[in-house]
Chains A and B, each alone.
Chain A
Amino acid sequence: MSQLHVRGLRKAYDGREVVAGVDFELRAGECFGLLGPNGAGKTTTLRLCLGLTEPDAGEITMMGHAVPRHAREARARIGVVPQVDNLDPDFTVRENLFMYGRYFGFSKKIIAPRIPELLDFAGLTGREHSRIQTLSGGMKRRLTLARALVNDPDLIFLDEPTTGLDPQARHLIWERLHRLLSDGKTIVLTTHFMDEAERLCHRLAILDQGRVISEGAPRQLIERHIEPQVVEVYGEGAQAWARQSYRHAQRCERSGETIFCYALDADPIVHELKRHPELRYLHRPANLEDVFLKLTGRELRD
């Protein structure tokens, strides 16, 4: 059984279609990523899946329940880590976990034995009586993740789980998500960090202007959309150099002072660059960010 099945999903606000016909299906035990620039419709898609907003059209089936009609039943088997931390500031760490379990209808007897393992998962053992205000950003995120596990969900939604965290905190969150996947949980996450998506996701859907513009495994997307080699050339002379050496690359893009050369074989480009010691360059394999920028463009999205 598919844990989440979305077909023809549409939602407009003030006549602007934020979600404009989205389809996807989750496989049990996978990590599925929704990628997209700001305003692409990622968060709205999640809200629709959770039954928090009524779609204009389309069908959602989650954990075998039609959403939004039976969203309450579906949410009983779901964990959610929202984009903005909404831990309860009036409660301690322990009380946050405890009260959240109560919202699922669990008795004290059921929740109490779960709390030590949740604290352990969050790396907050010994902090159970701390006030939320005294936790670091990383601790709050981990607690929010632990809170989402209070009902031992089959499917976990994470909306930008590592935005605003330092590298150490991000790595710790990733490690925990890997642990959840190895426990057989299914994960849906939104992100605009390509390294995060590449590292965690088995499959991705790239969203832009409310549509899925490409879908597949990270490696597949790279192979499908982009030349395998990239040379980034920096510096004032980069543009002039690019005009001459354009022919060696399949494709060149400029972003500010930087030239991105995409090529099947980068050797001739690198060879050329060796004769221009004034230019700095970086030769690397293509990655998801290149795909993302190619598909969604380089302009700012606000």
Chain B
Amino acid sequence: MRRLFRLPSVSKRLLYVWLRNQLVWRKLALPSALGNLADPMLYMLGLGYGLGSMLPTVNGTSYVAFLAAGTVCSSTMMTASFEAMYSGFSRMHVQKTWDAILNAPVTLDDVLLGEAIWTASKAFLSGASVLLVAAALGLVQSALALWLLPLVFLVGLAFAGMGLIMTTLSPSYDFFMYYFTLFITPMMLTCGVFFPTSQLPVWAQATATVLPLTHAVSIARPLMNGTVPEHVLMHVSVLALYAVASCYIALVLARRRLLT
């Protein structure tokens, strides 16, 4: 029992877990990048210009610029969630890739944290690509937006950890639907991606303040508009707490599932 909860002990071998996933990804990089970029882009441009043309400015910016900041965060969240759950579950349960690796001198701690960092890396690529497109469209006001790069990695890690919790609990792929329907979709709608949270009833606003995506958007939007966000330390701390806690819980659950 005590061993389930012990602190992670990792070695540099976790890099090989990361490398394995990166090698596979490289083979499918083009369709994968397209999938990770096309979907958020369609929403951002379709809603941004289509819906945006009927709207006055939102919080002092054009609607499409408002939406761009939200899309950087939401696409990071989506990529991390899909990778940690559907791809992670394939590797852990269906293909038994983790089992194969565990027969080498690599521990489950290495495997799980390697997976988390890989997932965050892939999510980073997704968020950074959206940011790049937004910059090319003139939707980024200042170089402050470069701070979004470390931010999206942190957001990716937080959603990697939460996704891996679901993966280590899951009996099958169908299980992930609960998470998407009950957690991801509500976040998309309440955390300020499409409209300011201030438009929501008070109880929904209160709920949104504990959700990680809210904190990501709260930092990303001012940075893209060229202003320094308020309460940066608090927002970053919440995201870091989500990342650390979720990765640790996922690790404990993975130990329970695979090592007992």
Contacts and interface: CB of A to CB of B under 8 A. Distances in A.
A95 B96 CA distance: 17
Interface string A26-52: 000000000000000000000000101
B1 to A, nearest CB: 10
A198 interface: no
Interface in B74-129: 95-97, 99-107
B24 A50 contact: no
A86 B16 contact: no
Interface in A144-165: 148, 151
Contacts of A99: 16, 19-20, 23
Give the interface residue-count category, chain B.
Answer: 20 to 34
Interface stretch (A102-110, A170-178, A205-213): A102-110
A236 B180 CA distance: 63
- In terms of DSSP, what is the predominant structure of the interface of chain B? helix
A136 interface: no
A262 interface: no
Given A84-B96, A86-B97, 18 more contacts: A52-B102, A53-B259, A53-B260, A73-B105, A82-B96, A82-B103, A86-B96, A88-B100, A90-B24, A95-B23, A100-B104, A102-B16, A102-B19, A102-B20, A103-B101, A103-B106, A105-B16, A105-B105
B159 to A, nearest CB: 23
A72 B95 contact: no
Interface of A: 50, 52-54, 72-73, 75-76, 78, 80, 82, 84, 86-91, 95, 99-100, 102-105, 148, 151
Interface of B: 3, 11, 13, 16, 19-20, 23-24, 27, 95-97, 99-107, 258-260
Contact of B105 (A72, A86, A89, A95): A72
B99 A105 contact: no
